Chain A
C-alpha cells in the first residue's frame, strides 16, 4: 500500500463523478486493501488532535476499523507527537504519519475527512468548530465546551456546516445504559420523579505557579498549549491541566458530561434542560438539586458507596412504579425484577427504530458515511454540558439560579448571564 493510495480518501473519491458508476455496492474482496482494510472509496481518512491517555484509547478503537485510516496528528507536545506517530505507523506498517505542532496546518489538508479531538477541555469547542468549518467531521472527547456560549457556537457550527459530530459520551452506545433509558422513556418505571447522578465532588480552582523558563517550541508550544486560555507564566505543573479552572470545569462537568447526558435522555429532554438550580452550600456540588419544568428532580451525588455500590458515572432513575440504575462496569439494576424479561425485546425495538450499533466509535464512522446525526450529536452534547455550566455558575455565585433553556439565558439575572461566556485569548475566537 503506497502513500498515494493511503491518501486517496473517501472524500477525494466521492468528489469524482466516476464514483456514481464505479462505487461498488458490496466491496469485493479484491478491492480490499492490505490486511482486509476497506477500499479507498469506503475509507474515512482521519487526523488525530491532542492525543493523551484517553485519546490513545479512542485512537485505537477507531484504528481497529478496517475502513478508517489515520494519516496525521497534531499535538503541542513533542513526546505525544512521537508516541502517537509510532502507534499509528505501527498499526499500518509504514512511517509516513505526518505530525504537526499546530492543528490548523493539519486541518488545511484536503485529504482528511474527519478528526479525533482529545485535547485538554479548553480546546474542545474551539478545535471542533474550526475543524467543522474546514469541512471535517469530528469525534470529540467530552465535555464539548468550557462555557454555554462555546457550546452553542459549536452546535450551530455543526449544523451550519453539515458536519457529523460525536461527543465522547459513549454510554449512549452501551446496552446496559440504553436498557435503562428505554425503560424510563417508555414509562416502565411509572412517572419519573427523581434522577440521581454521579459527579466528581471536587472543584477546579484558579491559580498561577512560579514562572519557569519556557521550553523550546519543538518540545512544548506554550502559546498553543494555552490556546484560548488567559495568559499565565509557564510552569510545568500546568501540563497536567485538570482542575485548573481556566482549563477544566471541575468535577461537575468531569462526570456530569456523561451523567447529565443520560438524565436528559431518560427524561426525554435532550433539547432542553432543568429550569431551577439549587446551590448546595458547599464547594463540591455534592447534593446539588436541579428541577425540570415538570417537577422532576435531578440530584448530584459524589462518590457514595451506597449509590450505586461501585463504578463511576452512575445514574439512578426513580419512578412511581420502579427504579433503574447503572454505572460504569456495572450491569443495569432495577425494580421490579420482572422487567428483565423485557430486556431483549426493548433492545431489539430500540435498534430497529434507531439503527444504532452498540459501539460509539462505529456509530461515528457509520454516520460519517450515511450523514445521519451521530447518537451523541452536537446539540445533545451542548444541552447536557450546559447543565454543568449552569450549575457551575450557581456554584461561583454561591446562590440559586433559574435557567431558560429556550432562550439559553438566566431570566433577569445579569450576574449569571455574564458568566455564560469566557472571552478567549487572542487570536482565538468563536
Chain B
C-alpha cells in the first residue's frame, strides 16, 4: 500500500511542470544597501546574467537604487525584454540623472521602447522634456504621438498647455481627443490646487474646441464644478437642453455641488421639465439630503405621471418632515401599486428628529381611507413609535382586512423592538398574536411569519449558515422570481 502511494507520488512528480526559476539576486544577510546596490549593478552589467536575474535586480533597485544605478538601468532601455522592468527602477529613483537619461533615450531608442520612455518621462513630470515631447505629437507612429500627448497632460505647465491646445485643433482625431483629455487632466490639477479661475478658463477652452464627445463631457463637468455656486446656470442649461449626455453630467453635478441656495435653484426647475427629466432631477435632489428641495418634491408628488409621483415620494422619504406625511398618505392610497409601495417605504424610513413625523404618522391610523389606515399602522409599528401599541391595537377589529394585516405587522415590530417599555411590548405581543390567530385562515403566510417572530428568538446562538445571502446568490433571486410568478 505504502509502495503504491510512493509510486503514485513519484509519477505525479514526474508529470509536474518544471520548477520555476528562483530569484537568485536576493538579499544577502549582513549586506548594507550600498553593498547590495553595487552587487546588483554588477549583475546587470555582467555578461551572461540570465534575464530573470536582471529582472529581479531591476525590481530591487526600484526600492533601493540611487544615482549610481542609473547608467546600468538606462542601458536596458533599448532591451526588448527588460526595458519595462528597468523603468520600474528608473521611474522611482529621485535623481535628475534619470530625467537626463530618459531624455537622451527619447532620441535613440525605437518602437515600443520609445513609447515606454515617453511614458516614464510623463510619470516623472519632467518639464525639461516638454519641447521634445511636443515634437513627438506629430510623429508618424500613432502610438508615439498618443503617448507623448498623454505625457504632456501628466507634466502640465504653460508650455505643455500650449502644445496640447495646438494638438487639440489639428492632426489625427485620436490625437485631438487625447489632447483634450490631457488638457482636462491639467485643468483638474488646477482645480485641486484651488486655482479655479485658471481651471474655468482651460475647461472652457476645451469646450470651445468641440472635442470628441467623452472629452466634451469631461470639460463640461469641469466647467460646472470649477465655477462652484456660479455654475448653477450652466448646470441648469444642461438639464434643460436636448443633449441627454450633457444632462447626465449635470445630474452628477447636482449631487456634488453644495449649498441650500443651489438646492433651491435646482428645485425650482423640476416643474419646468418633461416627466423623464423630472424623475432624474428629483432623484438627484434627494441624494443632496437638503430639505430646501421639499416644496418641489411635494408638488411633484401630485404629478399626473406615476413615475414622477414615485420619484417624488422616494425623495420625501429621504428629506421629508411632518409636512410630507399627508402627501405620503395620499401616495399610499395611489392607484398605481408601485407608487403605494414606495410611499409605505418612505413612511417607515423617513427621518424624524423631534417626534413630529411620528405624531403625523399616528394621525393616519384613524383616517377614513383604509389604504391610509393600513399604511399608518404598519409604519407606526415598524418605526417603533413610542406608545403606538394602543393606537394600533384599536384597529385590530377594523372592517378592512388589509388594515388588520397591517396592524398585525406593526404590532409584531413593536413587540420585538430592542428598546421601549416592557409593558407596552407585552401588550403589542398579545394583540399581535391574537390577530395572527384570527388571520391564520385568510392570510396564512403573514400570520405564520408574525407568530414565528413573536415566539422564536430573533437572534440565533452563534453563526447560522444560510443557503444564500439572498441577495448575492442566483438561488435567492430565482426563488424570488418563482414566488412572484406564483
For A60, the closest partner residue in chain B by CB is: B474
A337 at the interface (CB under 8 A from B): yes
B30 at the interface (CB under 8 A from A): no
B354 at the interface (CB under 8 A from A): no
In the complex, how many angstroms separate the beta carbon of B299 from the nearest chain A beta carbon? Answer: 17
A176 at the interface (CB under 8 A from B): yes
In the bound complex, residues from chain A placing their C-beta under 8 Å from that of B217 are 135, 161-162
In the complex, are the beta carbons of A210 and B318 less than 8 A apart?
no
Which A residues are closer than 8 A to B by beta carbons? 11, 14-15, 17, 19-21, 23, 25-26, 57, 60-61, 64, 133-135, 156, 160-162, 170-171, 173-177, 206-210, 230-232, 235, 237, 308-311, 325, 327-331, 333-334, 336-345, 348-353, 355, 358-360, 370-373, 396-397, 414-415, 418-419, 421-427, 429-430
Report Cα–Cα, A337/B248, bound state, in Å. Answer: 45
- A161-B218, A330-B463 known, 11 other contacts, Cβ within 8 Å: A14-B245, A25-B276, A25-B307, A135-B213, A135-B214, A161-B214, A348-B348, A349-B348, A355-B318, A371-B251, A373-B255
In the complex, are the beta carbons of A360 and B85 less than 8 A apart?
no
Q: List 14 A-B contacts (CB under 8 A).
A: A25-B306, A64-B477, A162-B221, A231-B85, A309-B462, A329-B469, A330-B463, A333-B460, A345-B348, A345-B384, A352-B317, A353-B289, A418-B63, A429-B119
In the complex, how many angstroms separate the beta carbon of B405 from the nearest chain A beta carbon? Answer: 16
B286 at the interface (CB under 8 A from A): yes
**Given A26-B307, A135-B214, A423 contacting B470 (CB threshold 8 A):** no
Report Cα–Cα, A92/B80, bound state, in Å. Answer: 45
B116 at the interface (CB under 8 A from A): yes
How many inter-chain residue pairs (CB < 8 Å) link A and B? Answer: 249
For B85, the closest partner residue in chain A by CB is: A230
In the complex, are the beta carbons of A355 and B286 less than 8 A apart?
yes
In the bound complex, residues from chain B placing their C-beta under 8 Å from that of A334 are 459
Report Cα–Cα, A248/B22, bound state, in Å. Answer: 18
In the complex, are the beta carbons of A371 and B94 less than 8 A apart?
no
Query: Which residue of the partner chain, among A310, A345, A355, A373, contacts B382 with CB atoms under 8 Å?
Result: A345
Q: Which stretch of B51-59, B263-271, B363-371, B389-397 is in the interface? A: B51-59
Report Cα–Cα, A353/B181, bound state, in Å. Answer: 36
In the complex, how many angstroms separate the beta carbon of A321 from the nearest chain B beta carbon? Answer: 12
**Given A161-B214, A311-B463, A330-B465, A337 contacting B457 (CB threshold 8 A):** yes
B166 at the interface (CB under 8 A from A): no
In the bound complex, residues from chain B placing their C-beta under 8 Å from that of A330 are 463-466
For B305, the closest partner residue in chain A by CB is: A25
What string of 1s and 0s marks CB contacts (under 8 Å) between B298-330 and chain A? 000000011110000010011000000000000
**Chain B binding site: helix, strand, loop or mixed by DSSP?**
helix
In the complex, how many angstroms separate the beta carbon of B468 from the nearest chain A beta carbon? Answer: 7
In the complex, how many angstroms separate the beta carbon of B313 from the nearest chain A beta carbon? Answer: 10
**Given A162-B218, A352-B348, A427-B143, A174 contacting B458 (CB threshold 8 A):** no
In the complex, are the beta carbons of B20 and A175 less than 8 A apart?
no
For A373, the closest partner residue in chain B by CB is: B255
**Given A230-B88, A421-B91, A372 contacting B255 (CB threshold 8 A):** yes
Q: Which residues of B from 83 to 131 have beta carbons under 8 Å from A?
A: 83-85, 87-88, 91-92, 94, 112-113, 115-116, 119-120, 122-123
Report Cα–Cα, A336/B458, bound state, in Å. Answer: 11
In the bound complex, residues from chain A placing their C-beta under 8 Å from that of B287 are 355, 372
| B-side interface residues, number (CB < 8 Å) | 102
In the complex, are the beta carbons of B382 and A333 less than 8 A apart?
no
B445 at the interface (CB under 8 A from A): no
In the complex, how many angstroms separate the beta carbon of B428 from the nearest chain A beta carbon? Answer: 11
In the complex, how many angstroms separate the beta carbon of B68 from the nearest chain A beta carbon? Answer: 15
Report Cα–Cα, A174/B460, bound state, in Å. Answer: 19
Report Cα–Cα, A402/B235, bound state, in Å. Answer: 41
Report Cα–Cα, A25/B311, bound state, in Å. Answer: 11
Q: Which stretch of B34-42, B157-165, B410-418 is in the interface? A: B410-418
In the complex, are the beta carbons of B284 and A371 less than 8 A apart?
yes
What string of 1s and 0s marks CB contacts (under 8 Å) between B448-486 and chain A? 000000000111101111111111101001000000000
In the complex, are the beta carbons of A423 and B119 less than 8 A apart?
yes
In the complex, how many angstroms separate the beta carbon of A79 from the nearest chain B beta carbon? Answer: 20
In the bound complex, residues from chain B placing their C-beta under 8 Å from that of A425 are 84, 116
In the complex, are the beta carbons of A426 and B458 less than 8 A apart?
no
B242 at the interface (CB under 8 A from A): yes
In the complex, how many angstroms separate the beta carbon of B345 from the nearest chain A beta carbon? Answer: 6
In the complex, how many angstroms separate the beta carbon of B298 from the nearest chain A beta carbon? Answer: 17
In the complex, are the beta carbons of A429 and B150 less than 8 A apart?
yes
In the bound complex, residues from chain B placing their C-beta under 8 Å from that of A235 are 17
For B283, the closest partner residue in chain A by CB is: A370
In the complex, are the beta carbons of B119 and A333 less than 8 A apart?
no
